[in-house]
Structure 1
Amino acid sequence: MRFLLLLLIILSLPVLAQESIVFGVHSKTAPLEWRKNGVDQGFNVELMNRIGQLTNKRIIVRRKSFQQLVKDVHNPNSDIDVIAVVSPVNLDRKLSQSDPIYATHARAYTLQGKALINNWADLVGKRVAIKIGAFVDVYLSGYPQNFERVDVDLYETGFQQLISNQVDVVIAESFVARRLLPLYPSVRSSSDALIYGDFNFVGNVKKTLLMYKINEALRQLKLSGEYDKLVNKWFGIGREKVDLTSNEQRMLSVAMLVALVCAVGMVYTGFISASLRRHTKALDAELIQRRRIEAEIFELSKQFQSVLDGIPNGVTIVNQDLQHLWSNDNNIHLLDSDEFYYVDNDVFKLKGAVLDVLSTQKSFTADMRYQQQCWQLQIHPIAADQVVILLEESTEQHHLRQANEEASRLASLGELSAGIAHEINNPTGLIVHAVALFTSAMKDLTPAARHYQKQNPFWLIAGLNPDIAIEELQYSCGSIEEGAKRISRIVNDLKRYAMPHIANEYTQVCLNDVVQVALRLTASQTKFHQITPTLCEPSPKIEGDAQQLHQVLINLIQNACHACSEQSGSIVIETHVEGDKAILSITDNGCGMDSATLTRITEPFFTTRRNEGGSGLGLSVCSKIIKEHQGEMQMLSSVGKGTRIRLTFALESQD
């Protein structure tokens, strides 16, 4: 027993006496080493074991957290001699470190579908996960950070937070990320290398000599080619170790499958191509047909547009906001003119008319006036918010209609008036003759009545005192005579209205003289009103009958006086020349006329002054006289705003 114990002690002395190197290893997914089935393995572990053999030192592997390893390597009294870390290429460490073992880099990782990170500027404002103490952390400590930094203990923690949307980007070392990506398929590499670094062995502050020996052993391995064998074993031409044989078999199977799929695809593609060629030919034929039809439609549209543009009437399509959707631009300016109004002088508002048509969905037709023209306006609904507006000048039709109506009335009234004049003239003459006899008799009987009254003081005539009775009889005779004369004048006006005039008796007449004569003859009526004659010089001259023109203007002045109040009545009489026309107009600020009155004002026997003794023949006779002079009478009037009558005659050449 003692011998065996002594033998064991002797055999164990070299082992106990052999120096060791304590190699600190990261306990979770270290870059170049890991534990599989409880056994430490990996590039760094195998490399460190080979260095131990060359330096005749035993390698002891101790697993700790990365943060603890960093603290231990800075602690002179720690039990860790060497660790493997990554250092940025542009950063010098104060600790002893070996020659570079392997180059690496760090890049940005994001979720699939997110934008790529092209440079550090793309990280501004984002939440970026950084592993505490990693070479990315060391690198960023010397640079300003324009992003929101989120510290994590492991790169895997950063990937988990990325998936749960706690961070936007993870900056991770490539070897670690490459191991993690298969575990997190929703994460992808989103940038080129942002930081470059090297793997190094870093020694404790008291292990400078040990680091020298490690470097010597590392260089010896590189020179002998054994280092390259280790790299090829664990990384395989710069990547993680792969089984090339099985990989080749898999690739061959995949290639055969791809070839089969390609063959099937070529057959299918040929079938599809033939089908597409047939469809293409059919589509080309259809396209040619459509182009031909479009050309015909375009030509027809041009012809239709030419027809619409050639229509003298205005055609416009507008919506409820009065936007012009289409127009042939003929007379469309009238719709926005202040001088475009209804024939009864009411104001026209296009907006209100369009909205009424759209709300009722019923067509609207109205007779309108613009300056001296007559127009017919039609608005028809064509959609829920669109109408078509038609404008047609109807001046000639309006005049023809008026002339036809007036001709019809004249035809009936002419025949009627001739019979009335004949029937009334005879009894009227008898009345005048009898009244003249009664008047003369009353003069002769007056002295006899007075003499008889003296003899018979109680004598009465028709129940009245003889003097009073005789006075009443004389007044009644005067009234009867005045009424008979008035009947005679009406009959003469009626005969003049019905009787044609001989135009060859006309002479040259100065309109200014007609105005002056008419004003003198109506001085007793116009003295209560403000009369303003505006006569142009030289005086316009026309061909006509001065006496008849005097009658026309006198009648118009009397009507204006009747329409105006005595306190504020104003009458303007004006003569002027427009081209080859002589114009005589009379304007008052009287009571005016409504549209119904204005329509009938020249009808025989129509009067608004029946209670004041008006016969209704004045304006009828005036209208007939003006037409006999080849003239035109236009009347504009509004209730409460006055009346303007414009007489137009052909202008005679000036001497």
Structure 2
Amino acid sequence: MKIFVNLLCALGLFALALSAHAEDHQQKQSIVFGVHSKTAPLEWRNNGVDQGFNLELMDRIGQLTGKRIVIRRKSFQQLLEDVHNRDSLIDVIAVVSPITVDRTLSQSDPIYATHAKAYTLQGKSFINGWADLAGKRVAIKKGAFVDVYISGKQQNFKRVDVDLYETGFQLLIKGEVDVVIAETFVARRLLPLYPPVRSSSDPLIYGAFNFVSNYKNAAMMTQINDALRQLKLSGEYDRLVNKWFGTGREKVDLNSAQKKMLSLAIFVSLLSAIGMLLTGYISLSLRKRSKALKGELAQRKKAEQAISKLSKQFQSVLDGIPHGVTLFNQEAQCLWSNDNNNDLLSNPDFHYIDGQAFNLTQALTDALAANKSQTTDMQIGNSYWQMQLHPIIDQQVVILLEETTEQHSLRQANDEASRLASLGELSAGVAHEINNPTGIIIHSIAFINDALRDLSEASNHYQKQNPFWTIAGLAPDVAISELDLSSQSIHEGAERISRIVNDLKRYAMPSLTHEYQPICVNEVVEVSLRLTANQTKIFNVSTDLLSPSPIVMGDAQQLHQVLINLIQNACHAIRQDADCYESGEHINIKTSVEDEHICLIVSDKGAGMDQATLQRITEPFFTTRRSSGGTGLGLSVCSRIIKEHKADMQITSRLGIGTVIKIRFPLTY
């Protein structure tokens, strides 16, 4: 019996040891990932399912490292305590670290960039920097990257610690704090819930999401970093970023979206029901009104007595009036007329100025029904008229006709001048707003160029140590060269934006003067073709340049802009499904000297233009490509530049044949 008991005890101890070994083995084959965020698109729970960028990224890392990812959802403060506790089951968490401060724990390469800003109540002044926080009560989330950033730094404001950014927003509403410094992804979700709160500063702290490991799992971070780098090299990291952070595809809280959609559907249903009731009421009213009008018109069809003859003296006075005067009854019978332009009323080409056909009987009926004078503008051919209808006694109407062609032309000219003046002011304002970001691009690309020159030497040194090292799948020297070409293209594009903006300003202020210099026309063609190589690479572009090159007095950058615009228009005019796309030559650029003029000719075999389009082609903001992003400023600015160079532009075009644009400069050399 004693032997049997000892045997059972031994079997039990063996089973416990085997279970502990299995549990320890399972823990070694898994990574416990602690999450706390409820903010899309990083991580959140929808219908009980955890999802988000961090979760999907960690899941891929687990696949590459051969470990199962176990999700544990806790509060942020609990996760901070767990990751510093060696006995905790939490292995890794995702937190934001300031880009200038490292955490004491082992952390991964940066995952995704973010920043923190100041948030205040509506109506408070804008915060330009840390100095503006002096003396204010500022809510700081304990343990967050804002807390890490300011730790150990001098603080001239009163700090109020909170457990959540949402707690800070609640204190802000109550007036217990003046400012909340919050991370942007969280604040973006909270702002719709707290309408009185607004963003009141530019980014104060820049940070990046990192995976942070427990002390006991520091070696695990090496595996995570290797997997993370492998995902970046394979392009799968970029796919995840585009999926969760791509333009126009930012993830939202699905539960909130469903509630909003339900509320919207209820509102639309109520609106539809009200619309149906209103439509029924209007329909019933219209039926009653139609019945009343039919009865009234039936009564007015009775014969009326003829009016007394006008005296000869009154007749002579009316005959001497240069305007047409005609008296009608309600049956559209002419009772009297001075015979001046009376025939217009029966002319089928005589119509309202908006194009609506004119019907004399209907006009008389409407005037009598309204029983008040009416004045309308009319048109026939290129002449304009003003027609006045005056109801008088016995259901009669006097019609006065006065020609207003000259007044109409003056009014159109005045309206056009006013519109162009407004467009000029608008263009100047838009140009001013574009200049600021363009300057930032030019300044930043200069720094990138300097950095590339320094990195080139480091790249050569590292390549000697690691011959198989690549950058974005390319050999280091090829990648550095491509980066250099890309930065140059960005710089050239930014400078071109700046030049276009200056041209837009110049269009608004055409009185500016220029000091022109001798310009080689052939060189203008070659530079413009290089700048438009990306657009013209699918077309067959030929050149016929006069040698030696003609010389004109002008501004090279402005002439580049003119020719670039003409080349781009030619590319847009050529449809890839057209017959000309399969033919030999698509676009031809020619320089020549003709009739004491230097000519720059751009011809294409595109769709061509009709006469109506040709008449408005240089009008500001007129474009046939509005749906594809056309602004209508291109040829307008080009026309302005050409006039400033004392040149002229001749345009000939036929539908289905193509377009030829000839710019003629005065011969000065």
TM bin (shorter chain): 0.3 to 0.5
Q: Structure 2 length as normaliser, TM-score? A: 0.34
- With normalisation by structure 1, the TM-score equals 0.34
Which of 1 and 2 has greater Rg?
Answer: 1
